[in-house]
Amino acid sequence: MIPADFNDRLKSEARRLGFDDVGIATAVTPPDYPNFLAWLDAGRHAGMTYMERHAAAREHPDSILAEVRSVVMASVVYGTKPIREPTATEGRSARYAQGADYHDFLWDRLGQLLTWIQHEIPLTRGRAVADTAPLLERDFARLAGLGWIGKNTMLIGRKLGSFTVLGALLLDLDLQPDLPFQLDHCGTCTRCLDACPTDAFVAPYQLDARKCISYWTIEHRGMIPEPMARELHGWAFGCDICQDVCPWNRKSPETRHPELASDERWSMPDLMGWLSADPAQFRRDLKGKAQSRAKRSGLLRNAALILGVRKVEPAIEALSGLLTDPDQTIRESARWALEEIGTAAALEKLERLPLP
């Protein structure tokens, strides 16, 4: 038997554990699943082939937990607002990647919440999900009443804005669901669509990853082709432009968790420092960071391209030192950047030590 006040007590416990909002949805086929399939069919997932492989699993959360009846969706605000602009030798990282890796935070809190539930209702079965399982989390967050899906495809809450990460707890309990969020508060606003420098939004609510800075700087492996190599706009990992301009984020709160707060070393990384860092130490520094997704290869590639586009001459020495790096992507990116800088000093480095 599920106590009449169980939902209220569950939400209270979730907030005590550090979640900023929580709601409950029935485990169903998410309403946007057909749109997800159409998105795949159009090729707008770019090189993220894992989305194709796991497409069928996203049709229902029972692919994750066979006995699932309810989905508890919880959100946490991440990051802090920037206090200055980056310099010519600094890049930008998406706000979610400026603190500790949010996955560990969510898994820990969701695990504690599941333990509490199992104490209240013994023999409950559950599964914690934090962005790494085939679940259309934003769709379930809307069903759970946490907000609406904006024109930039992000979940937006009236009080929290969109700088939130989502976690889900799949349960074999028949819980009373919350009312789905029915309204769309974007109205006639198109600031997110207009601000995207690469026109990644082919229409409201439709993102083409093939034009998205976040895709190229995080998910893509290998050299970034023209013209996207020139269109990173200083973003070394991810991109927040469509969220930064959203009116719903003007008064959105900053995180209340120190581990998810922004660290300037990662919010505005020293790109030349990345290029000259000891490879082994750099890899160690990436542990526990979202940037580990791109690995040293992707991060140094991004840094080199940004410095090349900006024609940062003090970066010539560091770039030339990468022309013999064991990683082919890094070598190609360093060469491209030196050609972009194009000064006699930069071209001399290429003539002295050309790549095969």
Instruction: Specify burial of residue 223 (Cβ count, 10 A radius: 0-12, 13-18, 19+).
Output: middle
The span from the CA of 350 to the CA of 91, in Å, is 25
Backbone angles phi, psi at 321, to 5 degrees: -70, -15
Q: Is 278 a catalytic residue?
A: no
Instruction: Give CA–CA dist 340/141, Å, rounded.
Output: 44
- Neighbouring C-beta atoms of residue 191, cutoff 10 Å: 15
Q: Which of 62, 131, 244, 327 is catalytic?
A: 131
Residue-by-residue DSSP string for 218-256: II--SPPPTTGGG--TTEEE---HHHHT-GGGSSPPPPS
CA distances from 298 to 53, 201, 233, 334 (A): 23, 24, 16, 12
Cα–Cα distance measured from residue 281 to residue 271, given in angstroms and rounded to the nearest whole number:
15
Angle at 189 between CA 184 and CA 192, to 5 degrees: 100
Catalytic (active-site) positions: 131
